[in-house]
Each structure stands twice: as C-alpha cells, then as structure tokens.
C-alpha cells in the first residue's frame, strides 16, 4: 500500500472516530478533542488528495463514513438494521469500487498515451 492510500485509510478511520465522538460527547473537553480529531482527519484527507484523484478519495471517504456510521449506529448505539439499509450500503460500496476501477482504467489509458 502506498503512502497516499495509507492517508485514505487514516482519514476514513479518523472520520469514524469523530462521528463516534458526536454520539458520546457530553462535556466541553470531549468536544475539544473531537475538533482536534476533525482537524487531523482533514489533514489526512488533503494529503491523500495530493497524489490521488480527489473524486476517488472523497468517494471512498464518504462511502466508508456512511457505511461505517450506519453499522456503528446499529451495533453500538442500538439502531435498527433493515434489508433496505443493507441493500443500499451494498450499492454504495459497489459504486465506490466501480469509481476506483474506472479511475484505474482512465489512468492506464493515459499511461499508454503518454499523458500525465
């Protein structure tokens, strides 16, 4: 895994941490910690976008955040899971994977043409 993809993984992880914090924060210092985590998260997001396509990075960031937050709601905070939620999460993940594959295909074509 390249350093850029490590930044994508870190931004996804930190997003889930601050979303968890939104549901559990109860004092001012909890919120202060969340703000620091958000700042770190967006630092990793911007680092990932330096060398990777921004659309792909953001799609992964948003997709993992959405699916992760939904699963966190179900398994940690007692939310309800439904077949519809499951289907739409699968569609979301398929869309993110499709975007990544399409992006790789475009990059491969540009490499063949000598475009950088």
Closest CA to 2 of 68, 64, 57: 57
12 contacts: CB under 8 Å, gap ≥ 6: 60, 61, 64, 65, 68
Residue 99, pLDDT > 90, answer no
Residue with tokens 């699963």: 71
The mean pLDDT value for 24-45 works out to: 96
Percent of the chain with pLDDT over 90: 73
The mean pLDDT value for 59-83 works out to: 93
**Contact between 11 and 58 (Cβ < 8 Å):** no
Q: How does DSSP classify residue 27?
A: S
**Domain residues of the chain, as ranges?**
3-113
Which of 34-43, 54-63, 98-107 shows the lowest per-residue confidence on average (mean pLDDT)?
A: 98-107
Task: For residue 106, name the pLDDT band (cuts at 50, 70, 90).
Answer: low
The mean pLDDT value for 27-35 works out to: 96
Cβ count near 40 (within 10 Å) = 15
Residue 115, pLDDT > 80, answer no
Tokens matching residue 50: 């330096």
């Amino acid at each position: 895994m390249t350093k850029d993809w490590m930044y994508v993984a870190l931004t996804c992880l930190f997003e889930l941490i601050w979303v968890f914090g939104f549901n559990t924060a109860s004092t001012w210092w909890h919120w202060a910690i969340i703000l620091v985590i958000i700042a770190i998260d967006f630092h990793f997001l911007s680092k990932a976008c330096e060398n990777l396509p921004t659309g792909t990075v953001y799609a992964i960031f948003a997709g993992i955040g959405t699916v992760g937050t939904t699963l966190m709601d179900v398994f940690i905070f007692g939310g309800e899971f439904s077949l519809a939620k499951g289907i739409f999460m699968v569609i979301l993940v398929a869309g993110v994977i499709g975007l990544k594959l399409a992006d790789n295909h475009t990059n491969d074509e540009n490499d063949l043409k000598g475009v950088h």
